[in-house]
Amino acid sequence: MDRESLHRRAREKGANPIVYWIVRAFMQPFFHTYWRLRRIGREHIPDGPVIFAANHRSFLDPFVIAVLARRPIYYVAKRELFESGRLQAWFLNALGAFPIDRGAADEEAIKTAKAILARGDSVLIFPEGTRVRPGPLGRPKRGVARLALEMGVPVVPVAVLGTEAIRTGWRIRPHKVRIRVGPALRFPRVENATPQLAQGVTERIWACVALQWEWLGGMPPLRRAAVVGDTDRARELAGWLAKGGVEVQQGKLVDVSEAELVCFACSPSTLAAAVASHADRIPARAGVLVCAQAAGVPPMGTLASAYVSERVRARPVAVLTEGDQPAVASLARPFARQVAAALNDAGVPARTTTEVTAAELGPEPARDRERRAAAVA
């Protein structure tokens, strides 16, 4: 089926009721039993036309979100899905999907969404534009705000957690999935929304999606950071984070209770005292970043990351190496990516790795490397 036919069918005929209700009759009990689906806040969904704005973790998100309401929820899907075969294109379209050209201002998709809303149905939009997994939420695009303003319909913020973990290759695994719906947002109708107005409305919508996301236990964004230490390294790190848009406190004794990121940039001799002074006030939801210190923590020479991990209740701990291209090392990959992204936003080309011990010990000294080579010979 060509794109024009797919859009025309979504506008004029809508979802195929026979296909839609048969598929739903199978999927809904499967979601509840296999994924222990929990739906929170369904009472916030109003009658009539509505835009669902949700985060996007898996190709299964539209199907999971569809069971929030007892009526078809139409949604945009990347055009490549409709180019894989006529049967797949027909099936997706029968369930309420219509194509969108990602990365471009697809006016045809906007027209279809408007036609669906105009007849009183609902549309699901993923403001991130593509799947974002794992880690915190991605950055939203302005299309959802433009649609809401020009149609004057309510927007319902939705957060989905757990769908990113239900698929490994072609295997669908049992994993708890939760959806939380926030109160509907209403904005005045505007004929032609300016980019500035659309941006402001987008931020408002996305803040409400993030609120539902964090309530479910999703990784929060890095808004506030506390850098513990009064070294050149601490000041450098604080400067990087601030440049990346993070609110930063830095010093020997700082308030860590409200921080999403706590960084220890102390000398090995002062790290123990710094941890003792701050550990009890570090929230469990925060992440901890330790600047690499090959010397270890006296008196046992314990690696700094291991020393900190044993004494704080924070969820993940990572190590930051030195050098022209620092590495963020952690077994918690989403957290490492989040920290690296904040540094990249500041113009620091950070990479990520799971080799924590190797990153913390740093490059092997040339003298030791020569001694080891001679012993082998």
Confidence grade of residue 103 (pLDDT, cut at 50, 70, 90): low
* Judgement on whether residues 251 and 354 belong to the same structural domain of the protein: yes
Structural domain boundaries, residue 342: 224-361
* Judgement on whether residues 135 and 229 belong to the same structural domain of the protein: no
Q: What is the mean pLDDT of residues 78-95?
A: 88
**pLDDT value for 155:** 97
Pairing outcome for strands 261-264 and 287-291 = parallel
Percent of the chain past pLDDT 90, that is, above it, reads 48
pLDDT tens sequence across 40-63: 999 999 999 999 999 998 888 999
What CATH code is carried by the domain that includes residue 354? 3.40.50.720
Query: Helices 17-34 and 86-94 meet at what angle, rounded to 10?
Result: 80
Q: What is the mean pLDDT of residues 182-192?
A: 92
pLDDT tens sequence across 285-319: 889 999 876 566 767 767 888 888 888 887 789 99
Q: What is the mean pLDDT of residues 192-209?
A: 92
* Judgement on whether residues 301 and 281 belong to the same structural domain of the protein: yes
* Judgement on whether residues 344 and 232 belong to the same structural domain of the protein: yes
Q: Which of 267, 270, 286, 280 is nearest to 339 (CA)?
A: 286
**pLDDT value for 373:** 41
What CATH code is carried by the domain that includes residue 127? 3.40.1130.10
pLDDT tens sequence across 323-368: 778 899 998 888 898 899 889 888 898 899 988 888 877 754 434 4
- Is the pTM for the entire model greater than 0.85? no
- The token pair at 223 is 């808004």
* Judgement on whether residues 52 and 145 belong to the same structural domain of the protein: yes
**pLDDT value for 169:** 67
* Judgement on whether residues 116 and 204 belong to the same structural domain of the protein: yes
**pLDDT value for 268:** 79
**pLDDT value for 372:** 35
**pLDDT value for 375:** 40
* Judgement on whether residues 86 and 189 belong to the same structural domain of the protein: yes
Residue 70 in domain: yes
CA gap 242, 354 in Å, rounded: 26
Report the number of distinct structural domains present in the chain.
2
Instruction: Tally the residues of the chain.
Output: 377
Of 191, 215, 239, which residue constitutes the final position of a domain? Answer: 215
* Judgement on whether residues 211 and 228 belong to the same structural domain of the protein: no
What residues have CB less than 8 Å from 264, skipping those under 6 apart?
A: 228, 229, 271, 274, 275, 288, 289, 290, 291, 304, 308
Residue 366 in domain: no
Q: What is the mean pLDDT of residues 242-260?
A: 91
CA gap 74, 62 in Å, rounded: 9
CA count, 13 A, side-chain hemisphere, 166: 21
